Amino acid sequence: MSKRKTRKTSKAESLLVELLVEELPPKALQRIGEAFASGIASGLAARGLVVNGAARTVYATPRRLAAKIAGVSERAPDRAETKKLMPTKVAYDTDGKVTQALLKRLEREGFPPGTFGKPIRERLSEHEGYVLLTQTIPGPTLAEGLQTALNEAIAKLPTPKLMSYQLADGVTTQQFVRPAHRLLVIHGRKVVGVSVLGLKSGNSTCGHRFLSKGNLTVPHAEQYEQVLQNKGHVIASFEKRKQRIRADLKKQAGSSKVLFDEALLDEVAALVEFPTVYAGKFHSEFLDVPQECLILSMQQHQRYFPLADANDKLLPRFLMVSNIRATDPENIVHGNERVLRARLADAKFFYDQDRKERLEERVPRLANVVYHNQLGSQLERVERLIAFAEWIAEETKLSSIDHVRRAAYLSKADLTTDMVGEFPELQGVMGRYYALNDQEPGEVPNAIQEHYYPRFASDHLPSTPSGISLALADKIFSLAALARAGERASGEKDPFGFRRTAIGITRILVEKEVRLDLCSAIEFASKLLERSEFSKSTEEHLKQQWEQRTARERGLKVFGFGPATHPYDPNVAEYVFMFLVDRLRFYLKERGWKHDFVEAVLSLLPKQFHEVLPRLEAVKVFSSLPEAEGLATANKRIHNILHKSAPPTADLFSEAKLTEPAERALYDAFNKVDAIVESHLASERFTDALKALAALKAPVDEFFDRVMVNVENTDLRNNRLILLMQLNSAMNQVADISKLAA
């Protein structure tokens, strides 16, 4: 058999793949488009068909998924493959002749019987007692590699749901996110013969559904985008389409401000192929409705972009993005204005109706709103929230107890309003407006809205003391209650927003510097689930409010907790605390703090989150001291000694047993430093406390150079271990500095 010559790879060209489909789900379009392109690119790269560092371009419109990949070869290069066949002693007999076992194995590898000769022998070698076979594996053609890559990419698309549909023959059934109609695949100017979803590849596509007619031939992969835009009235790139919309919106707005919402901008870009922006208006009487309602109605229901003046006050104008470029857009504009008028009229009706009843009159209806099937109603939640918010206000000295109590009592009342029923996103926002309408005192209206803050990671924090107290109460109680009910955040699943809630608690405690013992707060919240923890004033307040209700409303529920259905479980409280510490770790690393610094501070499991940033700053300063590395290493050594040694059999430390000068010197230095550290810690001067440890560097080094800790004498060993335990405790009050050791 002659030796196969290695084939040369062809010149690299750009590859264009487009799948033309029915309108795709707009909220998933970006994700699907990116997955389609990356799946094809990675599939080709895995088969050696893509030049290293080749660029890829993602195209995604409502009716097409496409990708252009640069530097794709017609055929992948051949590759050498070495395979272990069998032990040498099995392959050859004692005379060095080939055995039947080796011949049969070679036959299975594709070498016919009777062909064993020099070409085959040249491919055989020996290594560590085994016979090896080296073969040249032909590289796949582009058609072969792309067919597999395309199948894999489509199978792995993150599609929300699949549809079953029949092909044009009326018999064959396919499944895809939407029915597919055409497949375009060209490598440079050549069509690559592949098929998928019952479609065979070609070099033509379709343009805009209304603005383009007939087929569009794409002469070269590099001309795809140009042909679609110039002849098909389609902007194929999602990002370019989005930026075009943004620019046209600003141009149409003129001196007014466009109230952009990035999620809405993404959704609109996923709904149109050739965007055109038109301006509309509505009657100024609707501006009496809170502008949050109007904005949400325009953005969520109609996908319009509201306009505001320089002071962010809503104007009676809006912008819409159409997929049609009309010579006379009057009918389009008037049609959209008519639809919006009906939406805003609904919002005005809800607002007017809701204000006919005070918030406090709505509270009893919360008995009919389920909070959680194991935790009762929203009314029961409010009862406990009042007690907890009052407790936090007393602990933190942040706000007026009366304002916090009143805000907690009214905090969930807007859940029963028509406006929040229509727009759940406005809970808290509408509570504030209705509380202002009811002339609730002081910080109460703002606290009702702010107790939901922050609603997401980068959202603003509550600004009023009552809002801070109520937000902490609501969030900590939610975590404790839901954890008690068996709910957890697991992997990507977090249906009750544990992570979002925990980040909210973390940000409030850290950024607002709230002095709150988190363990005590979690324990109090947990115990509220088993029995009443109301203060006398709170309970009387509730009963007084309840007695003012009608007899029918009083029949819905009687205030009070009843039997304990959720006994206090310290394991659940510990889970909640550790979950919060873990979110704090994530929060600090997101803010750019070094891993070692964060672990040094959080390994102490701080209960007061407001101290974490000052402690980190102290660790940062300490780490720059010349003594830091040596002390961190010594501290790590102390950790190891204490971990490996048996606990001291005596708790009493004796100065008289300090027999070595080095241990006496360390003890004296420790006493001086310990007093200084305690003084600094009492004033929360964490940086000064860590700096004071520098004085221990020399005596600690001297101690380890000259003193043996684990000596045979039990009394001496115990005394030295106790000294190290005291030293370890003193050195790690701000942070565990052993975490800084290399």
Q: What DSSP letter does each residue of 644-695 carry, written as one string?
A: HSPPPS-----GGG--SHHHHHHHHHHHHHHHHHHHHHHTT-HHHHHHHGGG
- 626-640 pLDDT per residue, tens: 999 999 998 899 988
Q: What CATH fold (topology level) applies to the domain 598-740?
A: Isoleucyl-tRNA Synthetase; Domain 1 (1.10.730)
| Bond before 465 cis per omega within 30 degrees | no
Report whether pLDDT(466) > 50.
yes
- 207-250 pLDDT per residue, tens: 999 999 889 999 999 999 999 999 999 999 999 999 999 999 99
Contact, 21 vs 64, CB < 8 A? yes
| DSSP H or E stretch at residue 216 | strand 215-217
139 versus 468: the higher-pLDDT residue is 468
Give the whole-angstrom CA distance, residue 33 versus residue 25.
11
| DSSP H or E stretch at residue 408 | helix 401-410
Which residues in 314-373 belong to E strands, given as ranges? Answer: 314-322, 370-372
Give the whole-angstrom CA distance, residue 400 versus residue 387.
14
Please state the domain extents for the chain: 13-76+141-232, 79-137, 238-354, 359-585, 598-740
Contact, 491 vs 402, CB < 8 A? no
Q: Which range, of 250-254, 448-452, 556-560, 581-585, averages the lowest pLDDT?
A: 556-560
Give the whole-angstrom CA distance, residue 323 versus residue 560.
58
Output the pLDDT for position 194.
95
Give whichever of 185-189, 327-331, 720-724 has the largest mean pLDDT.
185-189
Give the pairing of strands 199-202 and 180-187.
parallel
- DSSP of 435-479, one letter per residue? HHHTT--TTHHHHHHHTT--SSTTSPPP-SHHHHHHHHHHHHHHH
Q: What CATH fold (topology level) applies to the domain 359-585?
A: Hypothetical protein af1432 (1.10.3210)
Neighbours of 177 (CB within 10 A): 20
Give the whole-angstrom CA distance, residue 192 versus residue 173.
24
What is the token pair recorded at 301?
């229901």
pTM: 0.79
Output the pLDDT for position 115.
66
Give the whole-angstrom CA distance, residue 613 versus residue 610.
7
Give the whole-angstrom CA distance, residue 712 versus residue 547.
77
Helical H segments across 254-329, by residue range: 262-269, 291-296, 302
Q: Roughly how many angstroms between the first and final C-alpha of the chain, as a whole number?
A: 61
Output the pLDDT for position 568.
60
Neighbours of 593 (CB within 10 A): 19
- Grade residue 465 by pLDDT with cuts at 50, 70 and 90: very high
Contact, 515 vs 608, CB < 8 A? yes
Give the whole-angstrom CA distance, residue 89 versus residue 350.
90
| DSSP H or E stretch at residue 337 | helix 330-354
Give the whole-angstrom CA distance, residue 261 versus residue 244.
15
What is the token pair recorded at 512?
């607002």
Contact, 734 vs 615, CB < 8 A? yes
Q: What is the DSSP letter of 283?
A: -
